[in-house]
Structure 1
Amino acid sequence: MNESIREIDILLRSHINTHKCWQKLSELSPDIAHAATTTLMLPGKRLRPRLLLLAADGFGICDVTKLLPLALALELVHAFVLIHDDLLDNSPLRRNAPTLSRTADTLFSSAPPRSFNGSDVALIIGDLCYTVALEALTEVEAPPHQTLHAIRLFLDAAQTTAHGALAEIELARLSPEEIDLAQIFDIYRLKTAAYSFALPLQLAALLTDSLETRAAAINRFADYAGLAFQLRNDLDPLLLWQSGGPLPDDIRDNRLTPALLHIWQSAEPQQRHHLFKANHSTLLHLFHSCGTLLWLRERISEFTDNAITAIEPLQLDNRVATDLAALTNSIAI
């Protein structure tokens, strides 16, 4: 699996070094270009292109090298989503490094541009990532009708992700009493499962003319894997905070994640007001007394097991099915 990450990193680096978009950016603003490309190359799981190449292999595509433009497009779209997520969340860090907007603000500290800030830079770079991702789709070695369908799948996934972000905003307008866990899970399916898990497998199935027969199985796997993945993303900053790290963005912003909803529903009524107003030690006590971290781990394990069970209906080659199960299981580690 480390080898596949390395290969995708090489692909991404080659794109950055040769594409006219990033070359022009370097001419316009070398320091912003460096910040942008550094952000793109930060170490990551490269999950989406890995899923594409794995599924394509399992669906019977012998030469997956022709899918490299698709793999690149998936990673660039992911970069677009992360940059925009960091703007929405006002996050200072991403992958243990300053987010692009914070890096740009640092660059501007010595000579601030009038009326502009780092968030403006991040928004533009995110949009550029999406445009070059769509351009990469046109370079796939496939019949024109498949290329057009692939573009439509990308657009559908982007719209679904945006709808999930808007649904999250709408949910934030409700009181905790009006919210149940199913609503939050539906948002996670929209924001994460659709583009992170369904889209790579849909593209592989499309190129083997099996999308229609595999669509239901893909969506089932993607729903479970997406929930496990997003809950793990919720857990990691909580564990870091518990060990003395920074306050998670979701707690800072009073965002009702499954973990915080679990505390709300498990705590005594007189304790609930501490959830959004308590000092850190009181809130940590609530996490422990309500068993929330254990509950979160159990949900991650449950959804991971369900996702692995959902691999068989995908009708993958046995070797690839085993690799996909291992990749899926790594989500919960």
Structure 2
Amino acid sequence: MKSTEQLLELISKEINQQKYGVEPDELYEPIRYIMDLGGKRLRPLLATLSYSLFKDDVKSIIPQAIAVEVFHNFTLMHDDIMDEAPLRRNKPTVHEKWNNNTAILSGDVMLVKAYEMIMSEEHPRIMQVLKAFNRCAAEVCEGQQMDMTFETRKTVDEKEYIEMIKLKTAVLLGFSLEMGGLLADTTEENGAALRNFGINIGIGFQLKDDLLDVYADAEKFGKQVGGDIISNKKTFLLIRALELAKGKQKQELENWISKTAFDVKEKVSAVTEIYNQLKIKELTEELMNAYFIKGFESLKAVEAPLHKKAILKKFAEGLINREK
């Protein structure tokens, strides 16, 4: 079984060599641009690690693994338009560098390309893979719509938030792992366990992101710490704080949320202090770890060699302990 470093090298090399189309250049250049921005390549890596639990010829599924990354970046391209985001991985977003219409069209081509790559090779279970992909793609859209709806709502509860991050982020990790298992011809039970493993670590992964946005070391984080606080983003931390805050504390928190003009550092510092008083960091870590534990229980249920599962487990543990 190849190491995660070897698999990442294989994935990156294939992404760099990928051709998306030639003319018109204005349509295809944005695709090359966003795919070159990098990122963790988490989803194709999970697909290849999952496949490697059962078979060794991992090169044979690289097109399908990269298809998931192409789809992921398609969603990012369209999300950035909806969020009016100026930056993606510290570079101008596609709609900023080109325009909204180009970003929409280029994203559409990426979705088509993802399907083409999934179907690039004959496989007895390809229709099963496509069915699972269709389900996942619809769920990702549902999660994005929930996220946008939350922006206009005064309150969101914890259950709704977890469901949103499950759909928007976690199901694609679950599909990546499930697809690897399906392409390796593993059992339905193994496929389901791998999907559940991915969904649960995906929820934990997003909760860790929420935590890092407030508590990360600014130098290691690579982006502005406190961005969620500045924008009043309804993360688990804010939702929980609004539930727990009482009296003067609640009044102060709601006051900061309602302000349209404020000093950025002062707001981040004040809201973080309220989080500290309410032990929000500890509560977030507790919930995050509960989802990771649940995920590892699903991985334990997968019937595969222990030494191979250990590589996948070690990689997931790295997500828990990351600092950016």
TM-score range, shorter chain: 0.7 to 0.9
The answer on 1:305 being equivalent to 2:293 is yes
SS in 2 for 1:61: coil
SS in 2 for 1:62: coil
**Deviation at residue 305 of structure 1 after TM alignment:** 3.3
Q: How do 1:89-100 and structure 2 match up within 5 A?
A: 89-100=83-94
Partner Cα separation in structure 2 for residue 139 and residue 216 of structure 1: 24
2:148 to 156, 166, 169: 169
**Contact persistence 1:222–1:307 (CA under 8 A):** yes
Give the structure 2 partner of residue 262 of structure 1.
240
Cα–Cα, structure 1 residues 69 and 210, in superposed 2: closer, same or farther, change >3 Å?
A: same
The amino acid across from 2:293 in the alignment is: D
TM-score with structure 1 setting the length? 0.82
Partner Cα separation in structure 2 for residue 297 and residue 85 of structure 1: 27
**Deviation at residue 33 of structure 1 after TM alignment:** 4.3
**Deviation at residue 316 of structure 1 after TM alignment:** 2.6
Cα–Cα, structure 1 residues 299 and 331, in superposed 2: closer, same or farther, change >3 Å?
A: same
Gap runs ≥5 in structure 1: 105-117
Q: How do 1:97-136 and structure 2 match up within 5 A?
A: 97-104=91-98, 118-136=99-117
* Cα deviation code 1:44-99 (max 9, x no counterpart): 211111111111111x2231221111112111111111112222222222222221
Q: How do 1:1-333 and structure 2 match up within 5 A?
A: 1-16=4-19, 19=20, 21=21, 23-26=22-25, 29=26, 33-58=28-53, 60-104=54-98, 118-143=99-124, 146-176=125-155, 179-195=156-172, 197-239=173-215, 246=224, 250-267=228-245, 268-278=249-259, 279=262, 280=264, 281-291=266-276, 292-332=280-320, 333=322
SS in 1 for 2:293: helix
The amino acid across from 1:148 in the alignment is: M
| Percentage of matched positions with identical amino acids | 23
**Deviation at residue 255 of structure 1 after TM alignment:** 3.0
Partner Cα separation in structure 2 for residue 209 and residue 8 of structure 1: 21
Partner Cα separation in structure 1 for residue 236 and residue 135 of structure 2: 26
SS in 2 for 1:331: helix
* Cα deviation code 1:89-148 (max 9, x no counterpart): 2222222222112222xxxxxxxxxxxxx22221111111111110111212413xx222
Gap runs ≥5 in structure 2: none
Aligned length: 306
Partner Cα separation in structure 2 for residue 275 and residue 215 of structure 1: 46
The amino acid across from 2:158 in the alignment is: L
**Deviation at residue 253 of structure 1 after TM alignment:** 4.3
**Deviation at residue 310 of structure 1 after TM alignment:** 2.7
CA RMSD of aligned residues (A): 2.5
Partner Cα separation in structure 1 for residue 77 and residue 104 of structure 2: 7
TM-score with structure 2 setting the length? 0.85
Partner Cα separation in structure 2 for residue 101 and residue 237 of structure 1: 24
**Contact persistence 1:5–1:45 (CA under 8 A):** no
**Deviation at residue 241 of structure 1 after TM alignment:** 9.3
Partner Cα separation in structure 2 for residue 265 and residue 286 of structure 1: 14
**Deviation at residue 249 of structure 1 after TM alignment:** 5.5
Cα–Cα, structure 1 residues 247 and 212, in superposed 2: closer, same or farther, change >3 Å?
A: same
Partner Cα separation in structure 2 for residue 25 and residue 71 of structure 1: 27
Partner Cα separation in structure 2 for residue 66 and residue 156 of structure 1: 24
Cα–Cα, structure 1 residues 72 and 216, in superposed 2: closer, same or farther, change >3 Å?
A: closer
**Contact persistence 1:66–1:141 (CA under 8 A):** no
SS in 2 for 1:174: coil
The amino acid across from 1:187 in the alignment is: M
